[in-house]
Chains A and B, each alone.
Chain A
Amino acid sequence: MISWDFALIQIILGVLMILSAAIAVKLRDLLAAVIAMAGFSLLLSLEFYVLQAPDVAMAEAAIGAGLVTAIYALAIKYTRRMEVEE
């Protein structure tokens, strides 16, 4: 007795989250990886909203997608943009 339309939303969001996380891990361009992580955070925030947790969704959107991305971007600016094997 599961509602299939809700399950469908869960599956779509879940697959998208896994994909964006995997892309973030795979990309050699760190800045692009960070953008992928920001997308991951936004999807996660959307999932929180779907699961009736608007408080957490707001925190995740502001912190995960906003500030953390800015901190990453600054850190990458100071260091190296490409992931290189040395």
Chain B
Amino acid sequence: MINWEIVVQNFPFLVVGILMAIGVYTVTMKRNLIKIVIGVEIIESAVNLFLITLGYVEGAYAPIYTMAPKAAENNMVLPTPQALTLTAIVIGLAVTALMLALAINIYRHYGSLDVRVARRLRE
């Protein structure tokens, strides 16, 4: 049977899963180029959230020693996922900017943002 306590405890992981599903749905099923970019951004954000949730330690403090509360000594959340997520956020920004630039150019050439109109490269 489903253990509801685990469901509540792992709710952040469930949020990640649902956001991933929404993003994948948007990328595969939407026909507007800007919506596709939004879908990619949602998937990226979901994975960023996933990394941060992996690093969280119950009741721990941010991994910064400057003026931290006394209890923070030897009780910090895992720092590596935070470093990785910083990288991933910047990569996400880079991808978004380039995709939007391409979308603008496609609109200039085809007069539409619909993937079915903007499709000269058929099989």
Contacts and interface: CB of A to CB of B under 8 A. Distances in A.
Interface of A: 2-3, 7, 10-11, 14, 17-18, 21-22, 24-25, 30, 33-34, 37, 40-41, 44, 47-48, 51-56, 59-60, 63-64, 67-68, 71-72, 75-76, 78-80, 83-86
A59 B86 contact: yes
Interface string B47-88: 011001101101111111000000000001100011001100
Nearest to B29: A25
Nearest to A75: B100
Decide if the interface of chain B is mainly helix, strand, loop or mixed. Answer: helix
A84 B117 CA distance: 11
B113 A80 contact: yes
B8 interface: yes
Interface residues of B, number: 58
Decide if the interface of chain A is mainly helix, strand, loop or mixed. Answer: helix
Contacts, number: 136
A75 B114 contact: no
A16 to B, nearest CB: 10
Given A11-B11, A25-B38, A52-B61, A79 B104 contact: yes
